[in-house]
Structure formats: structure tokens, C-alpha cells
Structure 1
Amino acid sequence: MRAVIFGASGLLGRSVMRAFNDMTVTGTGFSRTAPGLARADATSADDIDRLLGRAQPDVVVNCVGERRPQRWAATPDQARDKNVDAARLLAQSTRQCGARLLHISTDYVFDGKAAPYRPDSPPNPLNAYGRWKLLAEHAVRAACPDAAILRLPVLYGPAQFAAETNLTELARQVGARAPVELDDVCVRYPTHTDEAAEVCRWLAGALVRGQRLGAVAHWSAEQGFTKYQMAVLIADRFGLPAGHIRPGEADAVSGDRPIDCRLDCRDLPEALGTVRRHFTTEFPPVVEPWLLPAEPISTLRKDFHAPCV
């Protein structure tokens, strides 16, 4: 099977590349490049057409998107391009080249007032990111009707910079030991990128085999935490003080963050088997490098390790 992964330099894309490593796979990057990746602008129809023409893929996975609030608030036009226009162009080109498409979306298309959400639950996004991702879903469906859309919650995994994931940013705040107030109302379901990548692999294979899939699929970890709860969990796990961390309501009060967007994933687990990873055992190696923010990762003490579970 030949696959093209757009956004392969990003958090999820890196894991998807590893999950697809026994296939003929081409990964792309643009704002962030890495050895072995093809440079392609997912907002350029010419770039997409040229790459797909060369790769002749059986399946395309779209991991392109800008989910970080500080980025899409500061440059909304660019964020919209990455989240909506890129989705439309990729869907159009994928259909034209005869490949199947797996498009990644988000639980933020829901308002968080009626969890758990089924794939056919009515969406009602509260913020710009959720609205863009919903528009992207509509654009994908219009351009490529047989595409599969996978909605995922907040992801965590090996990060290249602290702000790349909510979890590693929380670890930085725990390690800094400066007073900080963290939301203790909105519940998140942090899901490991390797787990999400295995789901992508299964869905991509099912698409290529011609297996009938629903238009939208959901996948999520089962454990839910607020930001405050995750920070305290990090501090407890590494024996660090947590007195500087205070519970608050900032995200909930803002009105643009869903309280609870838990996804109903019952349609997939039976087929996927045992791909689930448990947050409480998986997060320590992810956050460990970011607990000493004043030091580069390469200079962290070699004897600084998480206690054994």
C-alpha cells in the first residue's frame, strides 16, 4: 500500500509516519521540515497535485492543521488556511488521483453540553478552531464524498517544544514552580499520538480494502482530566511540589472552551482490539524532558528518571 501523510512533521503526523513505516509512505512538511520529508504547501493546489502525481498513493492522510490558540488568535487568516483551505484542496486532489482520503478532525466541533457525542451528534462549535474544523469537514465531504473523517481529542506524545502539547506545557509550568492558576472545570481526554496513529492505520487499511465505513469515526482515551488535575498528577508522579498550582475556572469562564466533549467511540474498539494506552502510565516519559525548562533537553541530568510504576 502506498500512502502520503500531509503534515508529517507535526505531533500526530510523526506518529502516523511511524505507524505506516512498513508501507511505501511519503511524508510532507512545510513550515517545519525534517530529513526524509517532501516539502509541500498544503494550501497550494499545484504543490499537492505534483506530489500526489509522483507518489501515486492508495491513501492520503491529512494531519495538517493549526490547533494552538495562541497561533490562530494571532494569525487567524493563516490558521483558517491550514484548517479549511488545505482540507478542501487535499480532498479535491485526492479524489482526482483516485486515492482514498482519511481526514483528521477534532472533538471541538461540539459545544461540550451533551457528552458523550456520537459521530452523528449535531455539531455546535464554540470557538474559531472548532468552527474551522467543522467547515473543513464540510469541505472534505463536498469534494471527496467517500472520505473518512476521524475526530480526535487533545493529543499528547513526544514533543519538539513545550507548547506543542497541552501536557508538556503543563509540565513546564509544574517544573517552573511559579504561581499559576489552571482550569479545573473543562474536562479533556488526552490521547497518545501513537494510539491515534494506530487508529489511522486501521482506518486507512479499511478504506483501501473497500470496507464500508461511516462518514465520521470517533476515537478518544477513556480517562478524563482537567488541566489542574493533570498538573497535580505530574507533580505527584515526579515527587515535585504542587503548592504553586491553584485550581481555577479560566477556560470555562471564557465561554469558548467546551466543558466536556467526550467522544462516544463504541463503533471502533471491537475492530481495533487492544490499541488503547492508559494515560497514567504513558505520560511520564512524555513530560519528563520539560520539567526543567531552564535547560535544553540535551543537558537534562541523565539520572533524572520517573519512578517505576
Structure 2
Amino acid sequence: MRAVIFGASGLLGRSVMRAFGDMAVTGTAFSRGAGALVAVDATSADAIAGLLGRVRPDVVVSCVGERRPAVWAGAPDRARAVNVDAARLIAEGARRCGARLVHISSDYVFDGTAPPYRPGSAPNPLNAYGRWKLLAEHAVRAACPDAVILRLPVLYGPVRFAAETNLTEIARQVASGAPVELDDVCVRYPTHADEAAEVCRRLAGALLQGQYLGSVVHWSAEQGLTKYGMALLIARRFRLPADHVRAGDADAAAGDRPVDCRLDCQNLPAALGPVRRRLFDIEFPPAVEPWLMPTGPATGRRKDPS
């Protein structure tokens, strides 16, 4: 079996590459390519077709996307192209080469007013990212009707730069000691990238066996936390002062962040079999510890507090 993972240099893409290690897997990257990853511009139909024509994969996973708000504001046309156009082109390419497709979407397609959200719940995105992800879903369904769209919440795990996840940015704010206000209204459900990747692998296996799971499925951790709640957990775990961190409502007050997008994913475990659930309280320390130094990742491991 052969797999192509688009967006393999990102947080989720790196985990998906590992999860598909039992296949002959090809990963792609654009601006952060390294090692064995293939340089592919996912907004180029020719580049996508060329790769898929050479590899002839059985399954394609589309992890391409841009979630960072700073990029939305600084380069909105490029962010839209990466989130919407790339999704359509990858879906068209997968259909043409006869591959099964798993497309990654987001809980931000919902407005957060009526959780939990089932796969059939009506989307109503509040911000540009959510609207782009919803447009991408429509484009994927039109281009590749047999694709499965997997909606995920915010992810965490070992990162390569602080802004790759909210969690590491929060860790740096806690460690800096500088006064900061963090939202204590909007609830996130941080899910480990390796857990999400295992779900991707199980979905791909089910598709390859001809199992129908529906056009949209959800996966999420069960523990909900605000940014302020995450900051307090980090401070307690590493015995750091938190007097400089204040609870606020900045994200909620802006009106473009959903308050609670909890995903209902109760039907998926029955279809996929048991997936290892990673508890945030246990899993987050290794992800944030290297970023507690003001200058970036520490060169050595800090002593693990008991």
C-alpha cells in the first residue's frame, strides 16, 4: 500500500507520517521541507498531478492548511489559497488517480453556541479561518465525493517553532514573567497530534477496506480548557509563578472566536476500534518544556518536578 501525505512538515503532518509507517509513504512540504519530504506547491494542480502520477497512491491525506491568525491578517490571499484552493486541487488529484482521501478540517466551522456538535450539525463559522475551512469542505465534497472529512480541534505536541500551537505560545508567556491577559471564556479541547494521526490511519484503513463511515467525522479530546486554564496548568506543573497572568475575555469579546466547539465523536470509536486516548494533564509537559526558556528550546532537559 502507498500513501501520500500533503502538508507533512506541519505538526499533524509529521505525526501522520509516523502513523502511516506501515505503508510506503511519501510526504510533501512547501516552505518547510526537509529530509526526505518532497517539495510540492499544493496550490499548483500540475505539481499535485505530477506527484500523484509518479507515486500512484492508494490513499491521500490532506493536512495542508494555515491556522495562524497573524498570517490571515498579513497575507489573506495566500492563506485562503492554502486553506481552500489546495484542498480542492488535492481532492481533484486524488479522484483522478483513484486514491481514497482523508481531508483534515476544523471545529472552527461551528460558531460555538450549541455544543456538542455532531457531524451533521449546521456549520456557522465566525472568522476567516473557519469560513475557509468550510469552503474547503464544500470543494472537497464536490471534487471527490468519496472523501472523508475529519474535523479536529486545536492540536498540540512536539513543535518546531513556538507559534506552531497555542499551547507553546502560552507556555512562553507563562515563563516570561511579563504581564499578560489570557482568555478564560472560550473553551478549547487540545488533542495530541499523535492521537489525531492514529485516527487518520484508522480512517484510511477503513476506507481501503470499503467501509463507509460517512462524509464527515469528528475526533477530539474530552477535556476542555481555556487559554488561562492552560496557563495555570503549565505554571503548577513546572512550579512557575503565575501572578503576572490574568484571566480575561479577549478572544470572546472580539466576537470571532467560538466559545465552545466541543465535537461529538461518540460514533467513531465503534467504527475504528479502540484508539489510545492521551490525557492532556499527562501529555502536555514534554510539548511545552523546551519552550520555557526565553531564548527558545532548552539545550538540555530540565529536572522533572515530582
TM range (shorter): over 0.9
**DSSP-derived class of the 1:222 partner:** coil
The equivalent residue for 1:222 is: 222
Once the 2 structures are TM-superposed, how far is the Cα of residue 229 of structure 1 from its aligned partner? 0.3
Identity of aligned residues (%): 73
Once the 2 structures are TM-superposed, how far is the Cα of residue 54 of structure 1 from its aligned partner? 0.7
Q: Distance in 1 between matches of 2:61 and 2:133?
A: 15
The equivalent residue for 2:145 is: 145
TM normalised by structure 2 equals: 0.98
Q: Distance in 1 between matches of 2:52 and 2:250?
A: 44
The equivalent residue for 2:283 is: 282
The equivalent residue for 1:65 is: 65
Q: Please give the residue correspondences for 1:264-275 in structure 2 after superposition, counting only pairs within 5 Å.
A: 264-270=264-270, 271-275=272-276
Paired residues of 1:149 and 1:216 also in contact (CA < 8 A):
yes
Which one-letter code corresponds to 1:37 in the other structure?
L
Is 1:193 matched up with 2:173?
A: no
Which one-letter code corresponds to 1:291 in the other structure?
L
Greater Cα shift, 143-152 or 262-271: 262-271
Count of residues in Structure 1 that have an aligned counterpart in Structure 2: 305
The equivalent residue for 1:160 is: 160
Once the 2 structures are TM-superposed, how far is the Cα of residue 82 of structure 1 from its aligned partner? 0.4
Q: Please give the residue correspondences for 1:16-55 in structure 2 after superposition, counting only pairs within 5 Å.
A: 16-55=16-55
Paired residues of 2:104 and 2:150 also in contact (CA < 8 A):
yes
Paired residues of 1:289 and 1:297 also in contact (CA < 8 A):
yes
Paired residues of 1:288 and 1:306 also in contact (CA < 8 A):
no
Once the 2 structures are TM-superposed, how far is the Cα of residue 218 of structure 1 from its aligned partner? 0.1
RMSD: 0.9
Paired residues of 2:154 and 2:191 also in contact (CA < 8 A):
yes
> Residue deviations 1:161-196, cap 9 Å, x none?
111100000001011010000000000000000000
**DSSP-derived class of the 1:141 partner:** helix
Which one-letter code corresponds to 1:67 in the other structure?
R
The equivalent residue for 1:211 is: 211
Q: Distance in 2 between matches of 1:262 and 1:281?
A: 21
Greater Cα shift, 147-156 or 65-74: 65-74
The equivalent residue for 1:307 is: 305
Which one-letter code corresponds to 1:306 in the other structure?
D
Runs of 4+ more than 3 Å apart: none
Q: Distance in 1 between matches of 2:249 and 2:263?
A: 22
**DSSP-derived class of the 1:42 partner:** coil
Which one-letter code corresponds to 2:237 in the other structure?
R
Is 1:170 matched up with 2:170?
A: yes
The equivalent residue for 2:8 is: 8
**DSSP-derived class of the 2:9 partner:** coil
> Residue deviations 1:238-292, cap 9 Å, x none?
1000000000000000000000000000111233314210000000000000011
TM normalised by structure 1 equals: 0.97
Once the 2 structures are TM-superposed, how far is the Cα of residue 209 of structure 1 from its aligned partner? 1.1
**DSSP-derived class of the 1:232 partner:** helix
Q: Distance in 1 between matches of 2:202 and 2:25?
A: 15
Unaligned runs of 5+ in 1: none
Once the 2 structures are TM-superposed, how far is the Cα of residue 63 of structure 1 from its aligned partner? 0.1
Unaligned runs of 5+ in 2: none
Paired residues of 2:199 and 2:275 also in contact (CA < 8 A):
no
Once the 2 structures are TM-superposed, how far is the Cα of residue 298 of structure 1 from its aligned partner? 5.2
The equivalent residue for 1:252 is: 252
